[in-house]
Amino acid sequence: MAQHGTLGVAVIGTGKMGADHVRRLNEVTSGARVAAVVDVDAERVKRIADGIEGCSAHTDPSAAMAADGVDAVLIASPGPAHEAALLTAFEYDLPVLCEKPLTPGSVSALRVLEAEQKLGHRRVQVGFMRRYDTEYAKLKSLLATGQLGRPLMLHNRHRNVATPPGFTSAMLINDSVVHEMDITRWLLEQEITAVTVLKPTPSGNAPEGLQDPQFVLFETDGGAVVDVEINVNCGFGYQVQAEVVCERGTARIGDGHALVTNMAGRWGGTIAQDFVERFEDAYDRQMQAWVDATRRGEVTGPSAWDGYATAAVCEAGVRAQTEGGRVEVELIERPAFYS
């Protein structure tokens, strides 16, 4: 491992997704750095590597994996290139985060499974990122408590504003509904055993030739029925909703970002029990903002003037509290220094 135990990552593919992962590893993730980048476009990859201290540029994934300081691999190249990159990573015995799909079909996916098993230990994480969404995570936790009983049905809504040119009906399954497949398997801990697709008359907003929306049904080996409204030219927004219907209640996410349950005669959600739960993210963002500004040599955020002004208001507040009535706040004139 690198200094201070920082994880050096080789990023394979620097398209839209890969470039965003490079930014994330550099600026958001704690304890990681980009040690190597790979792209078929040699100029592009050099330009990216040049902006990152200690990062090498490559056009060959294997060379990148062998490069100095590389501890792990992130695969963000197009799907058809995944199998080769995975097998190479296994040769170097490196941990891999592989963007979905693992590979573009089940036969090639099976070859990857076999290779990983031969390696003798697990090395691959697939990029099904919905499992890391706070709402889905809360839903999963709630199911795990058993309060709601066994899941019977799962209703899903998956809506996109509009599709890019060239989007096909098959992509609607492979690129969009694939997320609900993963969520179904993960939430219910059951395998999907059958699929049915119903097709309403297409929306006037669907491009010529695209059957959109569709209504997809899954049956599972645990006896659950799952439905997915896939509606990728809905026009109004990007919306992902899920409601699990269990024996003793239902739980729904995706409306205004809170988990809402129906249980025992009541609908509603939980209230945080302390400021840590409510404001943990704010503390994290504050620290990152301060560190980022300080590294740029800047000062942002609440100033000493803000500290002074609130101290003066507190003093008036305590007087109003103890003496009653209305207490005026006295402030010095604000120095230009703090304007």
Identify the CA nearest to 154 among candidates 116, 181, 128: 181
Establish if 87 lies at the interface with a copy of itself (CB under 8 A): no
195 phi, psi to nearest 5 deg: -130, 135
Binder among 14, 77, 88, 103 for a copy of itself (CB under 8 A): 103
**Is residue 333 classed exposed, middle or buried when 0-12, 13-18 and 19+ CB atoms within 10 A define those classes?**
exposed
227 touching a copy of itself, by CB under 8 A: yes
Q: Does 288 bind a copy of itself (CB under 8 A)?
A: yes
The least CB distance from residue 85 to a copy of itself, in Å, is 13
Between 40 and 153, whose beta carbon lies closer to a copy of itself?
153
| Residue from the set 44, 92, 178, 207 that interacts with a copy of itself by CB under 8 A | 178
Considering only 47, 62, 155, 207, the residue that binds a copy of itself (CB under 8 A) is 155
Residue given tokens 């990681």 in the structure block: 32
Does 47 participate in binding a copy of itself (rule CB under 8 A)?
no
CB of 183 to a copy of itself, least distance (A): 10
We find the least distance from the C-beta atom of residue 170 to a copy of itself, in angstroms, to be 5
* Identity of the residue, 43 or 247, whose beta carbon is nearer to a copy of itself in the bound complex: 247
Q: Which one-letter amino acid corresponds to residue 189?
A: E
Q: Do residues 163 and 214 lie in contact, with contact meaning Cβ atoms separated by under 8 Å?
A: no
* Closest separation in Å from C-beta 35 to a copy of itself: 11
| Closer residue to a copy of itself, CB minimum distance, 43 or 339 | 339
Which residues in the 5-24 window bind a copy of itself by CB under 8 A? 5-7, 9, 20-21, 24
Closest distance between a copy of itself and the C-beta of residue 276, in Å?
A: 8
The Cα–Cα gap between 214 and 177 comes to 10
**How many CB atoms neighbour CB 196 within 10 A?**
10
B/e letters for 107-145, b = 16+ CB within 10 Å, e = fewer, are ebbeebeebbeeeeeebbebbbebeebebbebbbebbee
The residue within the footprint of a copy of itself, chosen from 41, 51, 189, 278 (CB under 8 A), is 278
Which of 40, 42, 87, 312 lies at the binding interface for a copy of itself (CB under 8 A)? 312
User: What gap in Å lies between CA 45 and CA 52, rounded to an integer?
Assistant: 11
Q: What is the enclosing helix (H) or strand (E) of 316?
A: helix 304-323
